[in-house]
Chain A
Amino acid sequence: MPGFAVRLLGASEALVLPLAALAASMVLFGIFVTLAGVDPVEVFALMYKGAFGTAFSIQNTLQRAAPLVLAALCTALPAQLGLVIIGGEGALVMGGLTAVAAALALPAGTPPLAVQIAMAAAGMAAGGAWIALSGALRHFRGVNETISSLLLTYIAIAILNHMVSGPMRDPASLNKPSTPPIGDANMIGSIPGMDVHWGLVFGIVFCIGAWVLMDRTTFGFAARMVGGNVRAAAMSGLPVGRLLIITCFIAGAAAGLAGMVEVAAVHGAANAPLAAGYGYTGILVAFLARQNPLAVIPVAILLGGIDASGGLLQRRLDLPDATVMVLQGIIFVVILASETLYGRFRVFNPKEAA
């Protein structure tokens, strides 16, 4: 067998296994809805229609996927170094809040583009600092980064609630405490010809950038070496602390940018709905994508589609809202379980078989 075919076959394992796991999850979900007394064929037909069946549905799916792409990077990037960061929600919230603060701090009459750039920079810096703090606590103090990033999320949400109902509150926002609006002129609009905001483009660009950084640069190589074995990396003279904190910063910056997009493209101000749970769904996306920055994009679209179709299941079949949560859960468990199957099928490794 020619060399490239062998390599192709080996690479296809990474595609075939998750797809098979996905198919298996669908079968399990089909059994679940049948037990719930609904025709699975109708469920799948509606899900397809709600997620991808019409031009509107596709845009609905992409719109819902947009924040998930950036939020997932917050978990996927530190994972290259062997860190499990689950605090994307906190970085997103801090990013959104700081972005609004930046917009409000600029004098009136600043050109919108300048305001938007300042917002993005401030949002990324704040989100980055938030996760870098977790990384630093890990490196210098030995604090478990999973726990610290989760706890930092609670702090971030508390800061958000305090700021929007206290120091940064717009007195005109009586029953929905919010910061003053950033102004319509400063909002970032939709991608031309689509009803999807720019967050999707930012997310895809960020994913590609992250992949290049991790797969094609010495920085990425060093980072992955830390992920492989911290001690070996330190022994060979790699600056483990710096790699760790910089990667955490970039990861947090991705989530912070997601927060900036939320306020600049959707809400127009910072308020409690900013903490909508994208950061938590992002963890799911990152794990399903096996922490691969490029795989984050299709997985986010898949979850966006499930989310988009959930409403139709509620409306047409009278299924409870939790139905799509069940599907998400099944997919998560089956894909994680399928991890154990890598390398166990000879068809993907013809050399070993021979």
Chain B
Amino acid sequence: MASKFTIDRRAVLRGIAAGGALGASATLPFRPAFAKTTTVGFIYVGARDDYGYNQAHAEGAAALKSLPGIKVVEEENVPETVAVQKTMESMINLDGATLLFPTSFGYFDPHMLKMAKKYPDLTFLHCGGLWTAGKHPKNTGSYFGYIDEAQYLSGIVAGYASKSKKLGFVAAKPIPQVLRNINSFTLGAQSVDPTITCQVIFTGEWSMPVKEAEATNSLADQGVDVVTCHVDGPKVVVETAEKRGLYTCGYHASQAPLAPKGYLTGAEWNWSKVYTDYVNLFTAGKPIPNLVRGGLKEGIVKTSAYGPAASAEARKHADAVKAKFMAGDMVIYKGPIETNDGKTIVAAGTSHGQTDIWLESMDWLVKGVIGGT
């Protein structure tokens, strides 16, 4: 009887405490008036630990956590609907965030733009490189990297590793960003051996693990012996390839722990540098550039450390080309380049440097790629 009473009393006390907490939280002003700490909000479209796109951003966000006076708030699995608008507003209203990084490509238009108009004093930075002067609000900006430079290097290493001279690429959607990665990867491999082909399979979705596994298995069955991908979470592709005894090149983040035997190298984002730079500008009150772009040279993208399967020859070749990228005099799209449906897309003697806007509306695949857009 006595013990029962104790439990009841505890429950009652807990209830009172809960009521008190609710009352207090309902009356407190949520925007901290003493905004000495800067709250930075990060929003991810998938899981933070997806070994891919979202993990790359989360690793970048994690780099900010050690900075003094910075508080990072994060939310994962936020769909590209009104939900992301509300998540941004929730971070602003309830957490006092003043700098927001909605990281998924699809968050930009209309979601982030709408919030930026509603909260003109706050700063919104988006990953994707879509910002256009005159068209988009001044308190917004975008950043993106020429990750196909790292894909080109992966292609070189893959070219050396492949015995069958058949590479495989598991891709999400036939959009310019993805096509550019496929082309650069293939051109990198063909710089080793021009007869190399690359079989591409589009899954149609950014994250569709079952199809990605099927695609990888199907590539293995066709005699492909090096696989890479451009999907949000390369985990399944890399794991499946490792199980089938294929070599892999990673994407977005390092998947080396998933494929200790077959991982050659990979194209990774270096968001920790980008985010640290942004936050330093922001807290110092300096103007934030609306458009930030760059590749290996600017430190926006990087390559994974070579795996045990990458030959010394491959490393030497890739390192030499990387040095050219770092010096700024490497051009991937240099004529003559033929498409896989027989057109000459870049004439001999012409070249399109990495910053060339023409490359961003790519709707073709180079010769040697098996698959259509």
Contacts and interface: CB of A to CB of B under 8 A. Distances in A.
A binds B: yes
Contacts of A320: 76
A312 B94 contact: yes
A145 interface: no
Contacts of A54: 26, 30, 93-94
Contact of A63 (B17, B86, B95): B86
B21 A315 contact: no
Interface residues of B, number: 42
A270 B154 CA distance: 36
A7 interface: no
Interface residues of A, number: 38
B326 interface: no
Interface string A237-264: 0000000000000000000000000100
B176 interface: yes
B10 to A, nearest CB: 12
B345 interface: no
Nearest to B19: A45
A155 interface: no
B18 A41 contact: yes
Given A64-B86, A262-B81, A273-B80, A314 B94 contact: no
A45 B21 contact: yes
A64 B80 contact: no
Contact of B90 (A45, A165, A197, A312): A312
Given A42-B21, A54-B26, A174 B176 contact: yes
The B interface, classified by DSSP as helix, strand, loop or mixed, is helix
Interface in A300-321: 307-308, 311-312, 314-315, 320-321
Nearest to B97: A315
Contacts of A267: 81, 110
Interface in B77-102: 77-83, 86-87, 89-91, 93-95
Interface string B165-189: 0000000011111000000000000
B74 interface: yes
- Which of B17, B18, B82, B91 lies at the interface centre, i.e. has the most chain A CB atoms within 10 A of its CB? B82
- Determine which residue in B86, B93, B174, B361 has the highest number of CB atoms from chain A within 10 A of its CB, and name it: B86
A60 B175 contact: no
B360 interface: yes
Contacts of A231: none
A311 B83 CA distance: 10
Contact of B81 (A41, A53, A175, A276): A276
B244 interface: no
Given A174-B360, A311-B90, A64 B83 contact: yes
A346 interface: no
Nearest to B360: A174
Contacts of B83: 64, 276, 307
Contacts of B73: 315
B17 A266 contact: no
Contacts of A311: 75, 78, 86-87, 90-91
Interface of B: 14, 17-18, 21-22, 25-26, 30, 47, 73-83, 86-87, 89-91, 93-95, 105-106, 108-110, 128, 173-177, 204, 360-361
Given A262-B81, A311-B86, 7 more contacts: A49-B25, A54-B94, A175-B176, A197-B82, A266-B110, A273-B81, A314-B74
